[in-house]
Amino acid sequence: MLRIRNLQTYYGRIRVLDNVSLSVKPGEVVTLIGANGAGKSTILNCISRLIPCREGEIFFQGQRINGQSPEAVVRLGICQVPEGRQIFQPLTVLENLELGAYLRYGKRNRGSIQQDMDMVFSLFPVLAERLQQISGTLSGGEQQMLAIGRALMSRPKLLLLDEPSMGLAPRVVADIFHTVVKLRQEGLTILIVEQNARAVLRIADRGYVMETGKIILQGTASELLEDHDVKRAYLGRDYREFTEGRA
Amino acid sequence: MSQLQLERLQSTLNRAYKNVPFYHNCLGEACMDPSAVRSLDDLSRLPLTSREDLGKNYPYGLFAVPLRDIVRIHTATGTGSNPTVSGYTNSDLAMWTEMVARSLTAAGVSADDIIQVCFDPGLANWARDFKRGAEAIQASVIPMTQLEIPKQVMVMNDYKTSALVTTPSYARQLVREMTRMGINPNSLSLRRALLLGESLSEKSRASLEAALPVQIQTAYGLSEVPGPGIAYECRERQGLHLNEDHFIAEIIDPETTDPLAAGETGELVLTTLTAKAFPLIRFRTGDRASLSTEGCSCNRSFARLHPIQGRVDQLVVIRGIKLHPQLIHTIMSRLCQGKIPAYVGFVGHLEDLDLLEIWMRLDEACFSDEIKVLEHLVHTVRRELEQSLGIPARVRLVEPGTMEDYSDRLGQIINERANG
């Protein structure tokens, strides 16, 4: 579904992505894990075309999307839930959700939009209760739900989730991940960037491990959970000097 | 498949470059870094790795993970004084188990079979992998033991072995022993055999299939580095399917090291895609082969490897064990305190069986008027050879006159086997 080859991106003169290749198959939940600054969010921003990539190719459903505008990418069916939610704080919950469906706004589509909104409410009942509330006054978890709901309103084929657990209470994080599992069961393809490696690897099919702009490891989620490097670096387990024992 | 291979190749290179000083320096000398590899074709621009490089980095120099992540350490004969040491993490072992299971399944072996694994001690590494692979497909496995051949035949008969995993030489030995013991092979439960370690010619396959009531499949592996299941034969017997999700194979011209096109015969070069502990980047196997990418009627999409007998280097394969002439020299110089007698090695058939024989010239370097001293020398050389190779060997002292015919081939190993 999504295929990236040799992606290179620079912030100024600093190379932040170095030859990144990855792929996501339809119906998969794939995760990118890695330390702060490894380039995980940059990859998502490249896919959404929010930042340009210097070299490399991004294909979505066989179509090259390198030169496309961010709007065009959304129209193709890729929607990103940005890091830190980025909801329209002064607007109400309802208005935020309606904006998510901006691609097909108009009288003719009112029915289908209402349908999608009902789907979002069934996923996140709390949003239905707060329809007229100013979204900036929602709690962190509710804001994250709203951000995901807003993205779903665009009827994406591929959902990009950037750090959905950031700054949330563990209980809420579990709820969010539970939603991801539900969405996947409904056939949505998801690429998810996460610092909470252990939690995300429990729900993902596959994962890529990033380090300073490079992919250093990939595998099924269960393989990565068992991998010593991943345990050391991201699950906070046994760390000793690497050179130990080397002649 | 190419996207998967590229992703895995790039992350393997990133890991090897970061964690293994040897690969870091190799790429550095070629003024490259892993980001130079943008496609599978770019692989051919990377430097090659040789068996000598494995020896130079003895013991742990090529490991790409800390030792505490290693769960198994394998040793194999090297080309020089150092053996080759390779390491495996838990996930590496799981990957090998899967590959061995694939080759067993392709050979028609299933959970209903009783598998007997027979190897010479030198291939004990492979025996361990086969034990795990056979367990993975839930077959009943009789692991390798140090039994004498007659005992192996007895086990085969009494335990009702249905699948045999061994080398072609060992299989021939078993056949001969059955004849000697008066056991009719047709009375055995044996139905399938997976023979590997040596290249299996159609002729010897046919003669073994005539002698044993089995269907024989073959497989390809490396004895020193990873293991036995790199490529395996399917029912069609039209070449060996390479596990392309774990390896990239290239065929190069052994002289110029230029890559050759599909179908051409040259030296096989392997790159690992999933190995964590012991990644290999463009490892020169020394084996001659060609590669074909056309589809196979068994519907497996993996490219097929066609091993060709003979090697591009000086290594001699005896019963699946690779022997480098330098190794004999190393043993000799250690035992003879610098005064190395002239010697030649022969690999020949003795009653169907490959045998290594060393002729040492009885000259001033080792002469003694005491028979005891000479006998001791012969004995220690033989024991050393057997210990480091894990296969039987013979040592003879010969008159200088006898050696004259070989005066230009001293220190070499002469292959006297008909099939090379």
Residue B366 has pLDDT above 80, yes or no: no
How many residue pairs bridge chain A and chain B with CB atoms within 8 Å of each other? 76
* Measured distance CA(A99)–CA(A105) in Å, rounded: 9
What's the mean pLDDT when you consider all of chain B? 88
Cis peptide before A26 (omega within 30 of 0): no
Shortest distance between the Cα of A49 and any Cα of chain B, in A, equals 21
Each residue of B126-152: pLDDT tens digit?
999 999 999 999 999 999 988 889 999
Q: How far is CA B398 from CA B182, B255, B417, in A?
A: 38, 37, 21
Q: Is B295 on the interface with A (CB under 8 A)?
A: no
Predicted-complex ipTM score: 0.86
Interchain pair B7, A22: CB under 8 A: yes
The pLDDT of residue B146: 84
Q: Is A206 on the interface with B (CB under 8 A)?
A: no
Nearest CA in chain A to B95: A223
The pLDDT of residue B226: 67
The minimal CB distance from A244 to the residues B19, B68, B276 is found for: B68
Which homologous superfamily does the CATH classification assign to the domain defined by B324-415? ANL, C-terminal domain (3.30.300.30)
CB-based burial of residue B254 (10 Å sphere; 0-12 exposed, 13-18 middle, 19+ buried)? Answer: middle
Interchain pair B66, A18: CB under 8 A: no
Specify the higher pLDDT residue, B399 or B186: B186
The pLDDT of residue B262: 86
The pLDDT of residue B401: 80
Nearest CA in chain A to B7: A21
Q: Which of A15, A18, A19 to mutate to test the interface with B (most CBs of B within 10 A)?
A: A19
Q: Which of B35, B40, B85 to mutate to test the interface with A (most CBs of A within 10 A)?
A: B35
Q: Which of B8, B14, B41, B273 to mutate to test the interface with A (most CBs of A within 10 A)?
A: B14
Nearest CA in chain B to A227: B91
Specify the higher pLDDT residue, B365 or B410: B410
Domain boundaries, chain B: 87-312, 324-415
Looking at chain A from residue 10 to 29, which residues have their Cβ under 8 Å from any Cβ of chain B? 18-19, 21-23
Interchain pair A19, B65: CB under 8 A: no
* Measured distance CA(B328)–CA(B406) in Å, rounded: 17
Percent above pLDDT 90 for chain B:
48
Alpha helical stretches, state H, B122-219? 124-136, 149-158, 168-181, 202-211
Specify the higher pLDDT residue, A116 or B122: A116
What domains lie within chain A, and their CATH numbers?
Answer: 1-77+158-238 (3.40.50.300), 86-155 (no CATH)
| H or E stretch covering B14 | helix B2-19
Interchain pair B7, A19: CB under 8 A: no
Shortest distance between the Cα of A119 and any Cα of chain B, in A, equals 35
Contacts of B185 (CB under 8 A, 6+ apart): B175, B178, B211, B212, B213
Interchain pair A19, B60: CB under 8 A: no
Q: Is A217 on the interface with B (CB under 8 A)?
A: yes
**Token pair for B398:** 């010969």
Please write down the HEC assignment for all residues of chain A.
Answer: CEEEEEEEEEECCEEEEEEEEEEECCCCEEEEEECCCCCHHHHHHHHCCCCCCCEEEEEECCEECCCCCHHHHHHHCEEEECCCCCCCCCCEHHHHHHHHCHHHCCHHHHHHHHHHHHHHHHHCHHHHHCCCCEHHHCCHHHHHHHHHHHHHCCCCCEEEEECCCCCCCHHHHHHHHHHHHHHHHCCCEEEEEECCHHHHHHHCCEEEEEECCEEEEEEEHHHHHHCHHHHHHHCCCCCCCCCCCCC
Q: Is B65 on the interface with A (CB under 8 A)?
A: yes
Shortest distance between the Cα of A58 and any Cα of chain B, in A, equals 12
Shortest distance between the Cα of A10 and any Cα of chain B, in A, equals 14
Shortest distance between the Cα of B54 and any Cα of chain A, in A, equals 14
* Domain range B87-312, CATH architecture: 3-Layer(aba) Sandwich (3.40)
pLDDT in tens, chain A (247 residues): 999 999 999 998 888 999 999 999 999 999 999 888 889 999 999 999 999 888 999 999 999 998 899 999 999 999 999 988 899 999 999 999 999 998 887 778 888 899 999 999 999 999 999 999 999 999 999 999 999 999 999 999 999 999 998 888 888 999 999 999 999 999 999 999 988 888 899 999 999 999 889 999 999 999 998 888 788 776 655 444 444 444 4
